[in-house]
Structure 1
Amino acid sequence: MKKNLVIKLFLISLITNSCFGQNDSKFSINGKTKNLVNGTILLLQNPLSNKFIDSVKVLDNTFVFNTQLTYFPAKLILWRDGSTAKTIWVENKNMTFDSSNSNFENAIINGSITDRLATSLKSKYKELKSYEEIVAFELEFIKNNPNNIISAHNLSIMAKAFGHEESEKLFNKFSIKNRQSQYGKIISDYLDLNITKTPQIGEKYVDFSMNNQNGIQKQLSELDGKYVLLEFWASWCLPCREENPELVKVYNKYIESNFEIFAVSLDENKENWIKAIKKDNLNWKHVSDLEGTNNKASLIYAVNGIPDNILIDKNGIIIARNLRSKKLDELLYELIFKKAYTIKKEKNGTTLRLSESIVWKDENGKILTKLEVEKMLDTKKYIPNLDTEKNIMVLKKKD
């Protein structure tokens, strides 16, 4: 899964632009297209802020952008419609866009040295056959090109794959402009977290705290003892919003069965975030630091695209990642509703074996750790009472 995420990012990468030199504040793109109806609107987006910075109408399959921008080179996205786009590294000069003999997303860009290099690298990525080859190639490129803005862009994505130590070495060799770019800020924020290794499946989750939509600080560890879906999303993420109705169904199905969702939003606009929560009827836990794709939790868990999620079991162990609603439903059913016990007949008698998924509680409903259970049983003052329907073992004090 991680391999596919990284490959996708490099082949399609719709993330971020850069803070670079400020010599001239305007660029132009003269474009040629094919088979577009007169009046078709093309939108130019700054993907780091998720804002559209300009738009034009197509006339006779031609268009012209004359757009103000305060930094160059900058990575922008030219949208033809909601599913078709061309990523362009713009420079403060006259450029051309030509899709008259190709698909819109494969248009030829002239006039930008940075875009030419990015296109060349993209072709190279397609030749690589494994995730390991991509990592090795990317590492070598960044080492050899510390002053190139594409190196800063690529390290902002790959830092989590390289790890803290290697990324810090690469970052320290960057030019001042690269370190001060918006990509440099993303890398710097990641390094400041001092997370030496992204938590993997089979490992303990990494705790963090963040404000909810009401400004109250919430901590992931507050949900210890539950099955928790750590969900990464945003109000502006169309696939996230499309998935939400199905996720609501899963949530409602398991909310009474020791399950909770802790949703981290990669929004920057608080109003849009809150509106999306209400509109989609998302009645679970929500937090955000309103730092967009530079969200602290997304850096900890190496989130390279959304929607993404991590399923944590009641013992705090990561057991799955990037589950869509159907797979999540199947896994939760297995974890929560599988038989609480098995009875095995042996020569010396009958053995009752409890499932690992069973939840131990005291008489007040507090979830008990394994150590607490052992201590209570050792006192011989408590009797275990099994509720097979709820998959709960309650330790009741002897009369």
Structure 2
Amino acid sequence: MTKYILFTAGLVLPSVLFAQQINFNLKGDIKNFNSSGKAYLQYRTDAGTVADSAEVQKGSFSFKGPLPEATKATLTITRNTENFQQQRNADRLTLYLENGNINLQATDSIAKAAINAGQLNKDNIELTVALKPYTDRLRAEYRAYGSLPKHQQTSQAEAELDKRVEAIENEQKAILVPFIKSHQNSLIALDALKTYGGYFPEAAEVEPLYTALSKQVKSSKAGAQHQKWLDGWKKTAVGATAPQFSQADKDGKQVSLASFKGKYVLVDFWASWCGPCRNENPNVVSAYNQYKDRSFTILGVSLDSNRDAWLKAIDDDKLAWTQVSDLKYWKNEVAELYGVRAIPQNFLIGPDGKIVAKNLTGDKLSAKLNEIYKDNKQLTTASTRGK
């Protein structure tokens, strides 16, 4: 068994769960495995992403060890000379490393393995089965869009995809709410709550479900993280005064949000490694060029950890506005303050410092700015306050 820890950007997983020492013993058996291969186990700890590997011998493999608490992990199987890092259709399974024995039995694919383990994995299987009809439909929608010729993957087509995806996600809430309420003592309820809230949760919708969870779940590290996100979502509701912050720009100079008072400013969270962010940048550039002379600007907040990659992306994507970052990846202090757990994400802040709108992607940003400036024709660079 070979184990190492990645301290750089890697697989992003929900990390720690109950704050109590565990000892897991994971054994797997794949009946029709007639080749050489390896098993890879990845999970997060406070030290970074752990990547553990073991040889698959006659279809069998095993992992064991202590952990500070139960942890969500991914198990991937490679065959012959397959490259673990480059697999497109990986044979992969999500499970929980919990105390005691975890036995996996599969015929030919670990993704379809039967899991015999403790209550945490049983609850996870229950949630996975309940959501399968919806996850299958979501995957089908994304596959259909991805199979379109590039010239048909337009902003309009993407907007239509977003509507269909949103409709499916709203339907699955009917499954998630009763699951959360009936599993208030299980950490899997937190996973269900994350799915319920989606990428951009609203505090008013999520808080009642979180509040009803057991004290043990809320006091876990995962529960504490959710509370931190919830605090950020409360502060960033439309109509709220935007949380103030200051962070270093690419030249090391501190830039404060307060310095933009009197303007409409889009606080835009992104990163060089984020594909959807890079795809969205042309829309942001277009809106910036159209309204930059009319009391509108952008403040980019990058979740990069590599300074060179960050600066190259700024140059490549022609991002002419102010950019800041503390190069702490998902631990970016502004991102944590704003409860950001997915990017791209943005917040449009008005001249009075209050949040006017958020998550304006595609044509939505230009449409919102057009609405604002159509109703406020007096807002020009010459009349901007705070200069």
Same fold (TM over 0.5): yes
Alignment of 1:187-266 (within 5 A): 187-190=226-229, 196=234, 198-200=236-238, 203=239, 206-212=242-248, 217-234=254-271, 237-240=274-277, 242-243=278-279, 246=282, 250=286, 253=289, 256-257=292-293, 259-266=296-303
Residue 25 of structure 2 is matched in structure 1 by 27
Change (3 A) 1:165 1:54: closer
Query: Sequence identity of aligned pairs in percent?
Result: 23
Residue 128 of structure 2 is matched in structure 1 by 122
Q: What TM-score do you get using the length of structure 1 for normalisation? A: 0.60
CA displacement 1:183-220 (0-9 Å, x = unmatched)? 12213324555x647524xx466233142357655433
Candidates 175, 178, 189, aligned match of 1:151: 189
SS in 2 for 1:17: coil
Residue 74 of structure 2 is matched in structure 1 by 77
- Work out the CA distance in 2 between the residues paired with 1:56 and 1:355: 64
- Work out the CA distance in 1 between the residues paired with 2:17 and 2:219: 7
Candidates 111, 120, 141, aligned match of 2:117: 111
SS in 2 for 1:232: strand
Does the alignment pair 1:306 with 2:326? no
The number of residues matched between the two structures is 324
Bigger radius of gyration, 1 or 2? 1
SS in 2 for 1:199: coil
Change (3 A) 1:111 1:186: same
Preserved CA contact (<8 Å) 1:16 1:75: yes
- Work out the CA distance in 1 between the residues paired with 2:380 and 2:185: 57
Where structure 1 has 5 or more consecutive residues not aligned to the other structure, the ranges are 1-12, 341-353, 370-399
Preserved CA contact (<8 Å) 1:56 1:65: yes
Aligned amino acid, residue 276 of structure 1: A
More helix by share: 2
Candidates 276, 281, 288, aligned match of 2:314: 281
CA displacement 1:261-280 (0-9 Å, x = unmatched)? 3233446xxxx242331232
- Work out the CA distance in 1 between the residues paired with 2:53 and 2:104: 15
Q: What TM-score do you get using the length of structure 2 for normalisation? A: 0.62
Where structure 2 has 5 or more consecutive residues not aligned to the other structure, the ranges are 1-10, 77-83, 135-166
Preserved CA contact (<8 Å) 1:231 1:307: yes
Change (3 A) 1:83 1:98: same
SS in 1 for 2:67: coil
- Work out the CA distance in 2 between the residues paired with 1:144 and 1:221: 45
- Work out the CA distance in 2 between the residues paired with 1:123 and 1:59: 30
Change (3 A) 1:142 1:262: same
Residue 170 of structure 1 is matched in structure 2 by 212
Change (3 A) 1:262 1:20: same
Change (3 A) 1:142 1:330: closer
SS in 2 for 1:18: coil
Candidates 345, 367, 391, aligned match of 2:384: 367
Aligned amino acid, residue 46 of structure 1: R
> Displacement, 1:169?
3.2
Change (3 A) 1:20 1:222: same
SS in 1 for 2:218: helix
Residue 149 of structure 2 is matched in structure 1 by none
Residue 345 of structure 1 is matched in structure 2 by none
- Work out the CA distance in 1 between the residues paired with 2:36 and 2:256: 53
User: For structure 1, which segment, 179-188 or 220-229, has the greater mean C-alpha deviation from structure 2 after superposition?
Assistant: 220-229
Alignment of 1:319-338 (within 5 A): 319=357, 321-324=359-362, 327=363, 331=367
User: For structure 1, which segment, 220-229 or 108-117, has the greater mean C-alpha deviation from structure 2 after superposition?
Assistant: 220-229
Report the RMSD for the aligned CA atoms in angstroms.
4.7
SS in 1 for 2:26: strand
CA displacement 1:328-348 (0-9 Å, x = unmatched)? 686489579xxx9xxxxxxxx
Preserved CA contact (<8 Å) 1:359 1:367: yes
Change (3 A) 1:264 1:182: farther
